Structure 1
Amino acid sequence: MIVHSMDRFARSLKDLVTEVDKLVKRGIAIQFVKENITFTAQSTPMDNLMLQLMGAFAQFEREIILERQKEGIKLASSQGKYKGRVHKLKPDQAEALRQDWKEGKYPSKMALGQAFGISRQAVYRYLKAGK
């Protein structure tokens, strides 16, 4: 199996070690292109150490990126530049959607979503928000 990088394969060191171990036990070799490391059933203790170290650095890098992203969003919000996700339906449309569902105007949530131009998942969110 060829994977671009460890941080794309798993989000934490624990997950990385677990998943690599599962694949290796099944006889599947896994190659990480970015790190230039390959793991097979014949992995040495040094290979396992490298997996732990590189995985720890990948997890650290990911956490730093997320922290910076949160700081950027907070700063942009305080300056009025970031307002969050734009809702597809206006409040009155969302209320109409909930009312139509209560009245049974549509046979399914899929049909309701199609009528309002939103996905089925969005229908669930709007119905849940109205409770």
Structure 2
Amino acid sequence: MLIGYARTSTTEQEAGLQAQQRDLGAAGCEKVYAEHVSSVAPRAQLKLAVEFVREGDTLVVTKVDRLARSTVGLWDIVRELDAKGVGLRVLNLGGETVDTRSATGRLILNIFAGFAQFEREMMLERQREGIAKAKSEGKYKGRKPTARAKADDVRALHREGKTPTEIAKALGIGRGSVYRALETPAAGAPS
């Protein structure tokens, strides 16, 4: 049985997720697990897919970076699949379909996984350089501290008797931010 896995990093990439699902269906996948989640975050649907597959099945992805961001991460997944007697098929690896059930497929997957990791690391390096340059020119301020801007609202809701969890949910901020706002005196208040 062919089982598909599709992933995009953000919900804004809905068209990309739909395209992956379409390609997996066209490849013959009888069941497709899909999710919007960063590759470094816990991936519940991937976990379910790996738990679902049985000996003789094949897990199918459209591209290797949909499955893992590093060669080590990829091979951890491949080892887990191997232990269950499950293969991995990547539909678009350099224009070819690669299957880990053959020695050649494993070699090609290893080479392309190394390139994917290299490409990601180069992109992150360029990003860090760009941020450093923008900071030195005074153009980069980082994201606005939204929780600090809501500190007065946090204190007002707290005075109304709301719990930190209720306040966090109502304002769309983390509970830690609620606690920090409650510990910080209001502007103009005596210290």
The answer to whether the superposition gives a TM-score over 0.5 is yes
Distance in 1, matches of 2:164 and 2:62, equals 39
AA of the residue aligned to 2:161: K
For 1:1-131, what aligned pairs fall within 5 Å after superposition? 1-35=59-93, 36-40=96-100, 43-90=101-148, 93-94=150-151, 97=154, 105-106=161-162, 108-115=163-170, 117-119=171-173, 122-127=174-179, 130=183
Distance in 2, matches of 1:63 and 1:81, equals 24
Distance in 2, matches of 1:25 and 1:110, equals 42
The answer to whether the 8 Å contact 1:12/1:55 transfers is: yes
Structure 1 residues not aligned, in runs of 5+: none
How big is the alpha-carbon RMSD for the aligned residues of Structure 1 and Structure 2? Answer: 2.9
Distance in 2, matches of 1:77 and 1:60, equals 26
- Label 1:79 to 1:38 Cα distance change in 2 as closer, same or farther (>3 A): same
**How far 1:39 sits from its partner (Å)?**
2.4
**How far 1:113 sits from its partner (Å)?**
2.1
Structure 2 residues not aligned, in runs of 5+: 1-58, 185-191
Larger relative helix fraction: 1
User: Which deviations, in whole Å up to 9, do the C-alpha atoms of 1:33-83 show, x marking residues without a partner?
Assistant: 22033325xx23322222221111111111001111111111122222221
**How far 1:96 sits from its partner (Å)?**
6.5
- Label 1:33 to 1:45 Cα distance change in 2 as closer, same or farther (>3 A): closer
- Identity rate of aligned residues, in percent? 32
Higher relative contact order (CA 8 A, sep 6+): 1
Distance in 1, matches of 2:148 and 2:176, equals 16
The answer to whether the 8 Å contact 1:29/1:38 transfers is: no
Q: TM-score, normalised by structure 2?
A: 0.52
